[in-house]
Amino acid sequence: MTHYSLFIDGKSVDTDETYDVVSPGDGTVIATLAKGGTAEVDAAVEAAAAAFASSGWRETPMHERAAVIDRAADAIEARAEEISLLASRENGTPVRLAQGLSVGFPVMHIRYFADLARRHVTDQPTMVSGSVVGIIRREPIGVVAGIVPWNFPLLLTVWKSIPAIAAGNSVVLKADEKTPSTALILAEVLKAAGLPDGVFNVITGDGAEVGGHLTKHPKVRKVSFTGSTATGRTVMANAAERVKKVTMELGGKGANIVLPDADLDLAVDGSLWAFLVHAGQACESGTRLFVHRTIYREFVDRLVQRASQLTIGDPTDMSTDIGPLMNRAQRERVEGFIDSGKKDGATVAFQAELPADLNREGMWVPPTIFTDVTPDMKITTEEIFGPVVSVMAYDDIDAVVAEANTSEYGLSAGVWTTDYTVAMDLAHRLEAGTVWINDWHALSGQLPFGGVKQSGFGREMGPNAINEYTNEKSIAIDYSGRDARAAWGLTIP
Ligand code: NAD
pLDDT of res. 492: 57
Q: What is the DSSP letter of 211?
A: I
The residues pairing with 348 across neighbouring beta strands, listed in sequence order, are 370
Catalytic residue, chosen from 249, 284, 383, 431, is: 249
DSSP class per residue in 78-131 = HTHHHHHHHHHHHH---HHHHIIIIIIHHHHHHHHHHHHHHH--SEEEEEEETT
pLDDT digits (tens, 9 = 90+) for 423-444: 999 999 999 999 999 999 999 9
pLDDT at 493 over 60: no
The atom of ligand 1 lying closest to the CA of 227 is 30
pLDDT digits (tens, 9 = 90+) for 165-224: 999 999 999 999 999 999 999 999 999 999 999 999 999 999 999 999 999 999 999 999
37-69 exposure pattern, b = at least 16 Cβ within 10 A, e = fewer: beebbebbbbbbbebbeebebbebebeebbbbb
Please choose from 283, 287, 384, 408 the residue to mutate so as to test ligand 1's pocket, defined by most ligand atoms within 8 A of CB: 283
Question: What are the distances in angstroms from CA 95 to CA 88, 126, 420?
Answer: 5, 51, 35
| Active-site residue, 82 included | no
Secondary element (H or E) of residue 231: helix 229-240
Name the residue at shortest CA distance from atom 39 of ligand 1.
249
pLDDT of res. 483: 83
* Residue 451 neighbours by CB under 8 Å, 6+ apart: 248, 249, 250, 252, 409, 410, 411, 432, 433, 457
pLDDT digits (tens, 9 = 90+) for 217-256: 999 999 999 999 999 999 999 999 999 999 999 999 999 9
Ligand 1 pocket by Cβ (under 6 Å):
147-151, 174, 176, 207-208, 211-212, 215, 226-228, 231, 234-235, 249-252, 283, 383, 385, 411, 451, 456
How far, in Å, from the CA of 232 to the mean position of ligand 1?
A: 7
pLDDT of res. 491: 64
Instruction: Round to whole Å and give the CA distance between 485 and 154.
Output: 57
Confidence of residue 86 (pLDDT cuts 50, 70, 90): very high
How far, in Å, from the CA of 226 to the mean position of ligand 1?
A: 5
pLDDT digits (tens, 9 = 90+) for 350-365: 999 999 999 999 999 9
Beta strand ranges found along 164-237 (DSSP E) = 170-174, 200-203, 220-226
Listed residue (315, 323, 430, 414) closest to 366, CA to CA? 323
How far, in Å, from the CA of 227 to the mean position of ligand 1?
A: 2
| Active-site residue, 81 included | no
- Identify the burial level of 354 via C-beta atoms within 10 angstroms of its C-beta, where 0-12 means exposed, 13-18 middle and 19 or more buried: middle
| Active-site residue, 249 included | yes
Please choose from 224, 226, 247 the residue to mutate so as to test ligand 1's pocket, defined by most ligand atoms within 8 A of CB: 226
pLDDT at 330 over 60: yes
Mean pLDDT (the chain, rounded): 97
pLDDT of res. 393: 98
In the chain, the domains with their CATH numbers are: 1-248+462-473 (3.40.605.10), 253-435 (3.40.309.10)
Predicted model pTM: 0.97
How far, in Å, from the CA of 443 to the mean position of ligand 1?
A: 19
| Strand 200-203 to 412-416 pairing | unpaired
pLDDT of res. 49: 99
Cβ atoms of 435 and 232 within 8 Å: the answer is no
pLDDT of res. 486: 84
pLDDT digits (tens, 9 = 90+) for 88-131: 999 999 999 999 999 999 999 999 999 999 999 999 999 998 88
| Active-site residue, 160 included | yes
**Roughly what angle, to the nearest 10 degrees, separates helices 62-78 and 181-193?**
130
Question: What are the distances in angstroms from CA 24 to CA 62, 103, 177, 356?
Answer: 41, 20, 14, 17
Instruction: Round to whole Å and give the CA distance between 449 and 465.
Output: 10
Catalytic residue, chosen from 35, 46, 90, 160, is: 160
Instruction: Round to whole Å and give the CA distance between 302 and 310.
Output: 13
pLDDT at 489 over 90: no
Question: What are the distances in angstroms from CA 278 to CA 120, 254, 386, 441, 443?
Answer: 34, 15, 8, 11, 15
Confidence of residue 482 (pLDDT cuts 50, 70, 90): confident
Confidence of residue 274 (pLDDT cuts 50, 70, 90): very high
* Torsion angle, alpha carbons of 276, 279, 283, 284, to 10: -10
Percentage of the chain beyond pLDDT 90 is 97
pLDDT digits (tens, 9 = 90+) for 13-45: 999 999 999 999 999 999 999 999 999 999 999
Listed residue (71, 392, 453, 120) closest to 256, CA to CA? 392
